[in-house]
Amino acid sequence: MVREVDKVKIRRWRRRGFYSESVLVKLLGKNGYNAVRVPVSNPSLSPLPDVIARKDQHVYAFEVKNARYYAYFPKKQVEKLFRFLDELVPISNQYKHAVLAAHLGKKWIFKRIDWKVWEKNELPEKERIVKRDRGNFKIRNES
């Protein structure tokens, strides 16, 4: 039996994720991307990312986490990004990108995972992004 307090905590946790995904879609839009939030991605076993974006010929699948100091991305969630891109996006891998997005307070850190890591089956059990990290992917226009 789920207690009422637990239900409140779960709702609050889910709202945080929805908020971060929505903020990311707006941020991507301001920087020239076409982006949408996938509303059923979190509980699903289907290979769906939290956010899908496109800019020019490139397609991006984002897994989004909202945290204070560090965010963990389990291997299964990272695999879902690659499965989505591999199975459902019929373009060359050079134009498909799996990106982890950590919303840490007001700061965003993005980490792109290389296709070679997935193809060689070398994904770690979990990826971690810490607030002091720099990330390896930028979405902002550099003009």
Q: Residue with structure tokens 């990312």?
A: 49
Torsion angle of C-alpha atoms 122, 48, 21, 14, degrees rounded to 10: -100
Q: How many domains does the chain have?
A: 1
pLDDT in tens, 44-61: 667 899 999 999 999 999
pLDDT in tens, 20-42: 899 999 999 999 999 999 887 45
Q: Domain limits at 79?
A: 4-130
Distance CA 73, CA 78 (A): 7
Q: Residue 89 is part of a domain; what is its CATH number?
A: 3.40.1350.10
pLDDT in tens, 4-20: 656 555 455 445 467 88
Give the per-residue pLDDT at 140.
76
Give the per-residue pLDDT at 88.
93
In a domain, 142, yes or no: no
In a domain, 44, yes or no: yes
The pTM of the whole model exceeds 0.95: no
The residue type found at 77 is: Q
